[in-house]
Chain A
């Protein structure tokens, strides 16, 4: 790891050699548009992607991920590993050596006490820190000397690069936030809007949910960077307008998250002012097939309640039905219609990183409606009245819900037609995203409550380690009325063998073994057909042709290397 990161660092500095001679601020202003506007610059108070990315220009973590998902040291001299002694042999501690001479933008020195403070700030019980899961399992963080931080875990942590790694876990300055702990956090408006950071830019003016004006940090560690003297970070509007401003009118240099129909984006790109860039992370658009009975006739105590398997779905618990539904789908067509370059057909709920991606299920890539019909015939589902299949008086009729979003509605229509060809009746429903993804236990329309047979949305995990993500589908994670519908096992999948694999992974350190375990878990879920993956989704952004140095990534903030961006003249 160490050698690799050194090599990477060397490669990076070689690649950037032409701009290394540039003067700080020589390239004027950089205009960025995010069509969802950031509401604060403190990512601990709001976990939204837009806030995290905006803040990543100002405050930095110790280690970032590059466009390949590899770790890059930012504020530390090297990445600690077991080999270089940075990680203890029992996997219970990790020790970071901070780089010497790094300064906050106010000129004061960056020290280990700031790192310790960040941990205290985010784990304060009254603070409601949105990123506190990055500190899960951390029992102590201490500064052994001004430039050394030791993180101790309660139990062995095979993948210890969570706290202070990645744009969601940046370091804030102790001096600035000292009086903003816990319940007082929201009262420090000035600090939350203008955090002092170690990053390439400082906030000049923050207009919440509107526009951020930034200028180059005079104390940034590389004297020749950043090339742009100022940044205007505009928010608001919609994806089409943001794409237009970069690709067609050239008013802006960079536009984020352009979820648009492929033909529209292609047409805009032909405007010639900019290019679309794509990066893939771990996001997968998938169908969840409810394993519990979601019939509207059941009362609130039983509807979509797993009840230890005593309330099964009338037909979706049968993997043959799930398999037939999956076989009827032409995933590549879903990509072509809705995602374009930003999507790849996939048969795995865990499609990346490469070491964890299974290849056992790839046969699903080919649509096979005839095969699906045969499968249903064999399983005893005969075509009945109105062309709808039935067995023992149960009709293959599903309620299919998702959040409101143009691409999802197109996918729904396509899938409904394919299932119709099989003889499966589908009722579509779309729900306002803020209700669907909101956890309001009183609403019948949340994705946790799952008052439908099938639902579709995208999920992913941040960082590069899938351990916590795969643990989502343990039996204990099934949402239900007893725990206010909290939980992340939406499809109510429960298999003791799966839970055993989860436990095993939490004790395994060796990377190749972890990969095998993750693949086994992925394949187990795929075989149950409780999750039907559809599209591996990437982030899609656009930048002006005159903007150089962009290394689009989905593993970290898209602006992770904004210090290296420059104007092509």
Chain B
């Protein structure tokens, strides 16, 4: 929108113009558009965001629709074809039991992408909620931050062992073994990864709520809820976005570490992290076996990162139009 807004950011402005702008504020030349469509139009013009989005969608399509096209069973053992390199029959080669790696990558991707996104979202929502509440309401700060300290100190492994012991059978009975474990894993990763986000968001909110614009909003009688939604949250988007991208990678890798320790998915259930872990010992013989899952995880994380960058830029009114 406003051409003059963009130019105000340029450092070569004269002091007079700057003063004029600061005192009078920008004059809207076009009628205001809704914030959402504004953000969307910025977002789809962001090259990084578009590229990230396309790659991410490709990955999602590949892992969820791919098995419809490439129909080899990911758990079928063809023992005569073990440890093969890439070929026409097996474009990604086979593993130590002769299972097709392409199918395993696709099936594994379904779990990994889902675990990554759901666990990250859970951690993010929890972290943001607790961070904003603690930063904004002084009464809650002490309690919520001590809770954060407690969760930071809890050792993850025993916690998971307890969760598995208490809930695995019940969840398996209610949702079937695989969905049950999925819920368990996602919850476990989510509730043990929200603390950094909470602390970071709280730190920013503490500073933000003393800013002039919050004071201004408060002085015209904006309710607390409105204040948080309209003024605080949009301003803590950047650390949240960074937490989100780091969170996805973290969730995928944590899942693999947990399967390795016998706390994750059943053994015949591939995930990217698990495929990568299993392949590490074969790094010298079959390098493609580590490259494929490693690349898949990195690409997912990178694409989400660029998506996040686009979102951040689109939400920042000062750099719109770039």
Contact = CB atoms under 8 A, between A and B. Distances in A.
Find out whether A and B make contact in their complex, taking CB atoms under 8 A apart as touching. yes
A260 B281 CA distance: 9
Nearest to A406: B278
Contacts of A260: 281
B262 A240 contact: no
A430 B266 contact: yes
A360 interface: no
Interface string A410-437: 1011101100000000011111110110
Instruction: From A264, A432, A433, name the one whose CB has the most chain B CB atoms within 10 angstroms.
Output: A432
Contact of B79 (A261, A263, A333, A445): A333
A296 B173 CA distance: 9
Instruction: From A412, A414, A430, name the one whose CB has the most chain B CB atoms within 10 angstroms.
Output: A430
Interface residues of A, number: 32
Interface string B162-206: 001100010001000100000000000000000000000000000
Instruction: From B96, B161, B280, B282, name the one whose CB has the most chain A CB atoms within 10 angstroms.
Output: B96
Interface string A433-451: 1011000001111000000
A403 B77 contact: no
B96 A263 contact: yes
A404 to B, nearest CB: 3
B286 to A, nearest CB: 10
A436 B261 CA distance: 12
B278 A267 contact: no
B169 A404 contact: no
A444 B165 contact: yes
Given A427-B177, A444-B165, A414 B77 contact: yes
Given A404-B260, A412-B268, A427-B177, A296 B165 contact: no
A264 B79 contact: no
Contacts of A472: none
A413 B268 contact: yes
B262 A433 contact: yes
Contacts of A404: 260-262, 267
Interface in B256-293: 260-263, 266-268, 278, 280-282, 284-285
B184 to A, nearest CB: 13
Interface in A381-413: 403-404, 406, 409-410, 412-413
Contacts of A416: 268
Given A417-B77, A430-B267, A432-B161, A403 B262 contact: yes
Contacts of A298: none
A355 interface: no
Nearest to B157: A432
Contacts of A429: 266-267
A337 interface: yes
B82 interface: yes
B96 A413 contact: no
B262 A431 contact: yes
Contacts of B278: 406
A413 B282 contact: no
A409 B260 CA distance: 11
Instruction: From B83, B169, B261, B262, name the one whose CB has the most chain A CB atoms within 10 angstroms.
Output: B262
A267 B96 CA distance: 14
B262 A417 contact: no
B281 A261 contact: yes
A434 B213 CA distance: 56
B267 A337 contact: no
B40 interface: no
A414 B285 contact: no
Contacts of A436: 262
B250 interface: no
B75 interface: yes
Nearest to A330: B79
B285 A264 contact: yes
B97 A432 contact: no
A410 B96 contact: yes
A263 B278 CA distance: 14
Given A404-B260, A416-B268, A263 B97 contact: no
Given A261-B96, A404-B260, A414 B79 contact: yes
Contacts of A337: 79, 82, 96-97
Contacts of A296: 169, 173
A444 B162 CA distance: 11
A430 B262 contact: yes
B267 to A, nearest CB: 4
Interface in B12-32: none
A422 B75 CA distance: 17
A443 B161 CA distance: 10
Nearest to B267: A409
A413 B173 CA distance: 23
Nearest to B79: A333
A263 B284 CA distance: 11
Interface string A248-264: 00000000000011011
B76 interface: yes
A233 B266 CA distance: 37
Instruction: From B75, B77, B83, name the one whose CB has the most chain A CB atoms within 10 angstroms.
Output: B77
Contacts of B284: 267
B97 A414 contact: yes
A416 B97 CA distance: 13
A443 B165 contact: yes
Interface in B209-244: none
Given A403-B262, A412-B267, A240 B281 contact: yes
A430 B263 CA distance: 8
A22 B259 CA distance: 51
Contacts of B281: 240, 260-261, 264
A328 to B, nearest CB: 13
5 nearest interchain CB pairs?
A404-B262, A432-B262, A409-B267, A430-B267, A417-B77
12 contacts: A263-B285, A264-B282, A267-B284, A337-B96, A410-B96, A413-B77, A417-B77, A430-B262, A432-B263, A435-B161, A435-B262, A443-B165
